[in-house]
């Protein structure tokens, strides 16, 4: 796997670790597809299915360039290149989540482990508080 993709996904995971504890348990690996806003990592973390924008606002990740740096979006401007990059990003996110689930639970569960709705208002407040105090 491309080291750049792996590095970007690791940065994205570290950001999610700081802002959305337990995020990896909310991801349905059978649906995971970074090219689709309803089933990408951030899209699945929204309070309602496909509430990608709410997650972006809560995490303070509005600029597209930032989303690319954290492995949520592809840099590719040509559609064919972007498709290849999104496939690699999906594979990298899936591998990272599988490794974490294996380490934590001793097995890899394909569906989401935690299905309780996320309180985006509480998440947004937590994120802004952490940003304000520099955590």
* Close Cβ partners of 4 (under 8 Å, ≥ 6 residues apart): none
- Give the pLDDT of residue 43: 85
Chunked mean pLDDT (size 10), the chain, 135 residues: 91 89 90 91 73 66 75 81 93 95 81 58 52 46
- Give the pLDDT of residue 131: 46
- Give the pLDDT of residue 87: 95
Q: What does pTM read for this prediction?
A: 0.75
Nearest to 87 by CA among 26, 5, 14: 5
């Amino acid at each position: 796997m491309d080291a750049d993709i792996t590095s970007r996904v690791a940065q994205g995971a570290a950001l999610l670790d700081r802002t959305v504890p337990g995020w990896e348990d909310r991801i349905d690996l059978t649906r995971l597809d970074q090219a689709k806003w309803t089933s990408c990592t951030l899209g699945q973390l929204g309070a309602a299915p496909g509430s990608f924008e709410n997650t972006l606002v809560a995490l303070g990740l509005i600029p597209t360039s930032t989303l690319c740096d954290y492995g949520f979006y592809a840099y590719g401007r040509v559609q064919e290149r972007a498709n290849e990059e999104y496939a690699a990003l999906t594979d990298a996110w899936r591998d990272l989540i599988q490794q974490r689930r294996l380490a934590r639970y001793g097995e890899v569960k394909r569906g989401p482990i935690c299905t309780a709705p996320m309180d985006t208002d509480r998440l947004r407040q937590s994120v802004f508080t952490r940003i304000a105090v520099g955590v």
